[in-house]
Amino acid sequence: MRLAVVGAGWAGLAAAERATQAGHAVTVFEAAGMPGGRARSDDAGDGATDNGQHILLGGYARTLDLMRTVGVDVERALLRVPLRMTYADGSGLALPATGPRLLAAARALLGARGLGVGDRLSLVAMALAWQRRGFRCPPAMTVAELLRHVPTDRVRARLIEPLCVAALNTPMAEASAQVFLAVMRDSLFGARHAADLLLPQCPLAQLMPLPAVQWLQAHGATVHLRRRVTTLERQDDHWRVACASNADDPGETAAPFDQVILATPAGDAARLTRSLAPAWSAAAGALAHEPIVTITLTAPPRPWPAPMLALDADAIDSPAQFAFKLGDQPGDADRITLVVSAAGHWLERGSDAVAAAAVAQYRRVFGVADDQPVTLASVRADKRATFRCSAGLHRPARNILPGLQAAADWVAGPYPATLEAAVLAGEAAARAFVQSRPS
Ligand SMILES: Cc1cc2nc3c(=O)[nH]c(=O)nc-3n(C[C@H](O)[C@H](O)[C@H](O)COP(=O)(O)OP(=O)(O)OC[C@H]3O[C@@H](n4cnc5c(N)ncnc54)[C@H](O)[C@@H]3O)c2cc1C
């Protein structure tokens, strides 16, 4: 059968790879000049700039499998470190690499540095209660409500809020406890190494998108870059896919497809389905989004205890929750990446103000004297980085119409917007396509 995949983000590429493996004729349409969507690089070279710092987890089984299938050397491309949420002063939490997982998580919580004995015991009691209830809770419960028995603000501010914004990109007061518990179950309390941090050692383009495009082309699929799909039309039992710019190849895009997988952001999917499936389109269009700001700077070299450090963030003058120093950095300056997740209220002040506050925060946290240079290298603000993962949110279903499915990180599923959620969604849509009968 002929399948059109609209969007070459991680979901679209996963769907295309699965359907191609199963022997179908796949055509991918991507509006941008580079594949990868929100996890892309500006260009293919070593100096490429990524659309924001990405971290993978050891539990991203489907993403890692996809990377291997398209020829990526996963062990070289990703630096694996056991989960540590360490602050610059050495306080924080480190997950032991060995031992039964629940015990390891309990040891990590009991051993959390910088928290009182009462806090640590209450954290362990809370984790055991989550486990007893099968990591389930009412769908409308927020993470803040889930933690109402946690005694001190320090635990919330230093442990749970950073974990919540890192995983769900949504503040605790609004974030879905159900999704947060699903992430905890499958990472901190999941299989051994599931919570390992996997830090990219190459531009995002090389991590999967470009190798995937090469793999698809080598296996007979067609990938069109700079092809924005403008209309989807159902004609008899086929689909027609019209593009903004198809002058160089009108035959291909004019050809009918048996099925279509829509792997675009929610707003684009809503536009393309408005007249085809109004109720579904309205649900996709109604999703709220939350920004992420990524700031890179150069600073005087200093020893770093871990590639990723947690920072004390607040709403007043400290926007960044995490700082990264990645790879070998010889020379007289460190290159640091600061990440501001759930950055909606910060961006109201403008991205220059966020960057200035983050630079000042860096100086304060690491004690950089006023006469030493900390230089801003870049600021990237992705205003629609992820959907806002609110408690009680109803996400649009995968099936839109017969022969038309959605595949993206925002489609109904147990996880927040992540690379793994995108790949899982792409694979689910491809599986349904492969199992369907030609009409
Ligand atoms: C700054 C930032 C940091 C993040 N950090 C992490 C992280 O650390 N870990 C993690 O797991 N996840 C992270 N994420 C989330 C992750 O990037 C996303 O969940 C994932 O990339 C979503 O993939 P997708 O394929 O569902 O959608 P997208 O990446 O949005 O892909 C959709 C594609 O569709 C294309 N498109 C749109 N309209 C059309 C059209 N009409 N015709 C053709 N093509 C079209 C777009 O150009 C795009 O390429 C982060 C996201 C951002 C922005």
State pLDDT tens for residues 331-390.
Answer: 788 899 999 999 999 999 999 999 999 999 999 999 999 999 999 999 999 999 999 999
How remote is the CA of residue 365 from the centroid of ligand 1, in Å? 32
111 vs 322, residue with greater confidence = 322
436 vs 119, residue with greater confidence = 436
How remote is the CA of residue 74 from the centroid of ligand 1, in Å? 20
Which residue's alpha carbon is nearest to atom 14 within ligand 1? Answer: 418
pLDDT band at 189 (very low <50, low <70, confident <90, very high): confident
Count the Cβ atoms, other than its own, within 10 Å of residue 60: 24
Helix residue spans in 148-203 (DSSP H): 153-155, 161-168, 177-186
> 158: left (phi > 0), else alpha (psi -120 to 50), else beta?
alpha
CB of 29 within 6 A of ligand 1: the answer is yes
Compute the distance between CA of residue 373 and CA of residue 162 in angstroms, rounded to an integer.
28
From 233, 264, 340, 354, give the residue whose CB has the most ligand 1 atoms within 8 Å, as the site to mutate.
264
CB of 216 within 6 A of ligand 1: the answer is no
42 touches 380 (CB < 8 A): no
Count the Cβ atoms, other than its own, within 10 Å of residue 382: 16
Collapsing DSSP states into helix, strand and coil, what is residue 145?
Answer: helix
- Mean pLDDT, residues 50-73 taken together: 96
Count the Cβ atoms, other than its own, within 10 Å of residue 55: 18
pLDDT band at 103 (very low <50, low <70, confident <90, very high): confident
pLDDT band at 93 (very low <50, low <70, confident <90, very high): confident
CB of 15 within 6 A of ligand 1: the answer is no
The set of residues, in sequence order, having a beta carbon less than 8 Å from that of 252 and lying 6+ positions away, is 27, 222, 224, 246
pTM: 0.95
Q: Residue 91 above 90 pLDDT?
A: no
What integer best gives the mean pLDDT of the chain?
91
The set of residues, in sequence order, having a beta carbon less than 8 Å from that of 133 and lying 6+ positions away, is none
> 23: left (phi > 0), else alpha (psi -120 to 50), else beta?
left
Atom of ligand 1 nearest to the CA of 293: 1
Distance of CA 335 to the CA centre of its chain: 23
Q: Residue 47 above 70 pLDDT?
A: no
Distance of CA 46 to the CA centre of its chain: 22
Atom of ligand 1 nearest to the CA of 409: 26
List the one residue out of 144, 158, 82 whose CA is nearest residue 113.
158
Cα angle 218, 12, 392; round to 5: 160
CB of 246 within 6 A of ligand 1: the answer is no
Which residue's alpha carbon is nearest to atom 6 within ligand 1? Answer: 54
Which residue's alpha carbon is nearest to atom 53 within ligand 1? Answer: 385
CB of 265 within 6 A of ligand 1: the answer is yes
How remote is the CA of residue 85 from the centroid of ligand 1, in Å? 26
207 touches 77 (CB < 8 A): yes
CB of 289 within 6 A of ligand 1: the answer is no
Compute the distance between CA of residue 143 and CA of residue 283 in angstroms, rounded to an integer.
24
Q: Residue 276 above 90 pLDDT?
A: yes
Q: Are strands 229-235 and 238-243 parallel, antiparallel or unpaired?
A: antiparallel
User: What residues form DSSP beta bridges with 223?
Assistant: 28
Compute the distance between CA of residue 375 and CA of residue 251 in angstroms, rounded to an integer.
51
- Mean pLDDT, residues 60-86 taken together: 95
CB of 37 within 6 A of ligand 1: the answer is yes
pLDDT band at 40 (very low <50, low <70, confident <90, very high): very high
413-426 residue pLDDT tens: 999 999 999 999 99
Compute the distance between CA of residue 129 and CA of residue 386 in angstroms, rounded to an integer.
30
Count the Cβ atoms, other than its own, within 10 Å of residue 188: 22
List the one residue out of 132, 91, 96 whose CA is nearest residue 113.
91
How remote is the CA of residue 411 from the centroid of ligand 1, in Å? 13
CB of 295 within 6 A of ligand 1: the answer is no
Which residue's alpha carbon is nearest to atom 10 within ligand 1? Answer: 418
Q: Residue 90 above 90 pLDDT?
A: no
How remote is the CA of residue 71 from the centroid of ligand 1, in Å? 21
Collapsing DSSP states into helix, strand and coil, what is residue 18?
Answer: helix
14 touches 420 (CB < 8 A): no
Atom of ligand 1 nearest to the CA of 230: 41
Which stretch of 18-27, 78-87, 240-249 has the lowest confidence by average pLDDT? 240-249
CB of 63 within 6 A of ligand 1: the answer is no
Compute the distance between CA of residue 11 and CA of residue 208 in angstroms, rounded to an integer.
11
- Mean pLDDT, residues 163-192 taken together: 93
